[in-house]
């Protein structure tokens, strides 16, 4: 072996700091774990050799300050239990109705107050800017702690109208930041992490944000927020991009549509502060005017000139984050998660396909041109395969390409791309879903056996989880995801567009799906909700 190659492999192994894939955690212990946080003392548990604290407050109840930046949590006397997850934010759907008293976070750590200075990984959950929480079983951080000797944090914050309803145009300057208070909750949580990293055995100077879907979009937005500068040092995003944000005119227009759905006039906007949360949630189902398909009103970050002074990744990558290493990933078949529940999408013929594409591809391109392009690129594809491929390329993937190109133009050499092609062939529905949106969550967390995972637990699934979780841990440790199976991962550059393809065995590819990328370049990309 050449000396340089040998040195590289040794360096990558040290950077990754990963435990052997066959490691088995110790049995759960009933021992109580105690930590001191700024509000007082908290008592967690030991689970599989890891200290676990759930439901720690990082902010006060937001109900008294609805639509305003949150206050810090009040102090308490004695020891407060940190044994159960805190409430999710107010929302519709499976995790609703939730509560406006929702500023809670959860911590997993191998050690307390031991001076180990472990990397801290903070996960931002998906669900767009509308729903979700940090308590999904797939987000359990114990296996990452054991595999990589790291601290893992998950959290809840305000979403939907409670976190992103812009009222500056209706209620004046006191509410100018209301369109970004959900993001400011994240900033507040990151301040808490920095303040308490040493208590939980972590390094405040080495914080990695990672997040999937809406979580990745929140990270991209934080990268352009002055208030978040210096609070995190690496960014790993999974199928979640935020290229542009809503402008104040578009956000104000949505606020007025929302008022109308509530039966209020603009002069009555102040009543939004007093209405029951359930009433505010119900009104969010009003149709968004910018969307082709029937979709609820959009709420997301707002380019308000203060909290978010610019678009996150337009016209360039945010200069304040240029030195932060970043991974931008996606799955090969994203939209099978959203559109795969409709059986008609699996039986399309060539005559039906253009009309179906017209309502489901976000870029405004003649569907006949798209179909013709795909038939040239992939003559063996069925109409349904074209449908899922085209909706993926014309929706979330295009945003990932925009972010990667923006970072590559800076020439920093610290941006990395991945694409998840692997999917379980031995799991029911696996062939139908393929590499769908969210499939990479249990792989990156190494939680393939957890409830909600659709990876299966076959040896091949575990090998993919090993490769992805070890790459994340290496990245968290030193800003470079190369280790073990991903030792050949090269930074993304132009024009090569180097991408790590996670399949049964990881492999590097230059410009995968380049034909699809070129096909969609004929239309400009604008993030949904911007207009």
Half-sphere exposure of 322 (CA within 13 A, CB side): 11
Query: pLDDT digit string (tens) for 375-417?
Result: 999 999 999 999 999 999 988 799 999 999 999 999 889 999 9
pLDDT at site 526? 87
Band of pLDDT at residue 362, cut at 50, 70 and 90: confident
A 10 A CB-CB count for 380 gives 6
Q: How far apart are CA 97 and CA 87, in angstroms?
A: 10
pLDDT at site 253? 96
| List of residues 6+ apart from 117 with CB closer than 8 A | 198, 201, 202, 203, 206
Q: How far apart are CA 417 and CA 138, in angstroms?
A: 23
A 10 A CB-CB count for 319 gives 10
Band of pLDDT at residue 291, cut at 50, 70 and 90: low
- Out of 99, 135, 178, 213, which one is annotated catalytic? 213
pLDDT at site 470? 98
3-state secondary structure of 117: coil
- Out of 437, 453, 498, 516, which one is annotated catalytic? 437
Q: How far apart are CA 140 and CA 145, in angstroms?
A: 10
Question: Kind of pairing, strands 104-109 and 50-57?
Answer: antiparallel
CB 179 within 8 Å of CB 301: yes
CB 250 within 8 Å of CB 160: no
DSSP tag of 425: S
Quick check: 24 pLDDT over 50? no
| List of residues 6+ apart from 104 with CB closer than 8 A | 55, 56, 57, 58, 85, 86, 87, 134, 155, 156
Quick check: 2 pLDDT over 60? no
Q: How far apart are CA 325 and CA 489, in angstroms?
A: 14
Q: Output phi, psi for 57, to 5 deg.
A: -75, 135
Rg of the chain in Å (alpha carbons) = 23
Query: pLDDT digit string (tens) for 70-129?
Result: 999 999 999 999 999 999 999 999 898 999 999 999 999 999 999 999 999 999 999 999
Q: How far apart are CA 140 and CA 159, in angstroms?
A: 21
Strand partners of residue 251 = none
pLDDT at site 285? 93
Using CB atoms within 10 Å of the CB of residue 501, give its burial: 0 to 12 exposed, 13 to 18 middle, 19+ buried: middle
- Out of 73, 95, 334, 498, which one is annotated catalytic? 334
- Can you give 50-62 as a three-state secondary structure string? EEEEEEEECCCCC
Query: What is 34-334+428-479's CATH number, 3.40.1400.10, 3.40.50.970, 3.40.50.1820, 3.20.20.70?
Result: 3.40.50.1820
**Residue 191 catalytic?**
no
Q: Output phi, psi for 67, to 5 deg.
A: 70, 10
Q: How far apart are CA 313 and CA 245, in angstroms?
A: 9
Band of pLDDT at residue 418, cut at 50, 70 and 90: very high
CB 156 within 8 Å of CB 189: no
CB 487 within 8 Å of CB 501: no
Percent of the chain with pLDDT over 90: 88
529 or 8, which is more confident? 529
**Residue 295 catalytic?**
no
Token pair of 251 as six digits:
């956000």
A 10 A CB-CB count for 184 gives 23
**Residue 239 catalytic?**
no
Q: How far apart are CA 401 and CA 325, in angstroms?
A: 16
Q: How far apart are CA 436 and CA 525, in angstroms?
A: 22
Per DSSP, helices labelled H in 225-366 are 248-261, 277-282, 336-339, 353-360
Query: pLDDT digit string (tens) for 142-174?
Result: 999 999 999 999 999 999 999 999 999 999 999
The mean pLDDT value of the chain amounts to: 93
Quick check: 11 pLDDT over 70? no
Alpha-carbon distances of 356 from 195, 384, 437, 486, rounded to whole Å: 51, 10, 20, 39
């Amino acid at each position: 072996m050449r000396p340089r190659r040998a040195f590289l492999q040794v360096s990558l192994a040290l950077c990754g700091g990963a435990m052997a894939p066959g490691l088995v955690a110790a049995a759960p212990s009933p021992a109580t774990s105690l930590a001191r946080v700024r509000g007082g003392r908290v008592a967690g548990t030991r689970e599989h050799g890891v200290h676990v604290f759930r439901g720690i407050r990082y902010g006060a109840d937001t109900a008294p300050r609805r639509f305003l930046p949150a206050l810090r949590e009040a102090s308490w006397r004695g020891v407060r239990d940190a044994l159960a997850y805190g409430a999710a934010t107010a929302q519709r759907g499976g995790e609703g109705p939730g509560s406006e008293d929702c500023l809670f976070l959860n911590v997993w750590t191998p050690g307390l107050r031991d001076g180990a200075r472990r990397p801290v990984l903070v996960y931002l959950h998906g669900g767009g800017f509308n729903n979700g929480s940090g308590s999904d079983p797939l987000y359990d951080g114990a296996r990452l702690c054991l595999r990589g000797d790291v601290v893992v944090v998950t959290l809840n914050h305000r979403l939907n109208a409670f976190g992103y309803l812009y009222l500056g145009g209706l209620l004046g300057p006191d509410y100018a930041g209301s369109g970004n208070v959900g993001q400011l909750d994240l900033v507040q949580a990151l301040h808490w992490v920095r303040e308490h990293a040493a208590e939980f055995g972590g390094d405040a100077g080495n914080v990695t944000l990672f997040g999937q879907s809406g979580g990745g979009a929140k990270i991209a937005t934080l990268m352009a927020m002055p208030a978040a500068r210096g609070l995190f040092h690496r960014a790993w995003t999974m199928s979640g991009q935020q290229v542009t944000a809503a402008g104040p005119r578009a956000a104000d227009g949505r606020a007025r549509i929302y008022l109308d759905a509530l039966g209020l006039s603009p002069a009555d906007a102040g009543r939004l502060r007093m209405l029951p949360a359930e009433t505010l949630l119900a009104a969010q189902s009003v149709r968004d005017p910018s969307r082709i398909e029937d979709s609820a009103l959009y709420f997301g970050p707002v380019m308000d000139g203060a909290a978010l002074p610019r678009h996150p990744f337009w016209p360039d990558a945010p200069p304040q984050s240029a030195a932060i290493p970043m991974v931008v990933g996606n799955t090969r078949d994203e939209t099978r998660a959203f559109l795969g529940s409709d059986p008609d999408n699996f039986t399309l013929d060539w005559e039906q396909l253009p009309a179906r594409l017209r309502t489901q591809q976000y870029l405004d391109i003649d569907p006949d041109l798209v179909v013709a392009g795909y038939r040239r690129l992939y003559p063996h594809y069925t109409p349904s395969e074209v449908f899922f491929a085209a909706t993926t390329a014309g929706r979330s993937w295009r945003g990932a390409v925009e972010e990667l190109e923006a970072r590559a133009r800076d020439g920093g050499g610290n941006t990395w791309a991945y694409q998840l092609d692997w999917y379980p062939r031995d799991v029911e529905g696996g062939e139908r879903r393929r590499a769908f949106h969210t499939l990479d969550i249990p792989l990156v967390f190494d939680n393939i056996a957890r409830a909600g995972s659709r990876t299966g637990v076959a040896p091949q699934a575990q090998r993919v989880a090993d490769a992805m979780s070890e790459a994340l841990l290496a990245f968290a440790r030193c800003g470079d995801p190369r280790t073990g199976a991903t030792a050949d991962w090269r930074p993304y550059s132009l024009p090569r567009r180097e991408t790590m393809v996670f399949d049964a065995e990881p492999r590097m590819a230059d410009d995968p799906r380049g034909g699809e990328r070129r096909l969609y370049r004929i239309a400009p990309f604008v993030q949904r909700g911007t207009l």
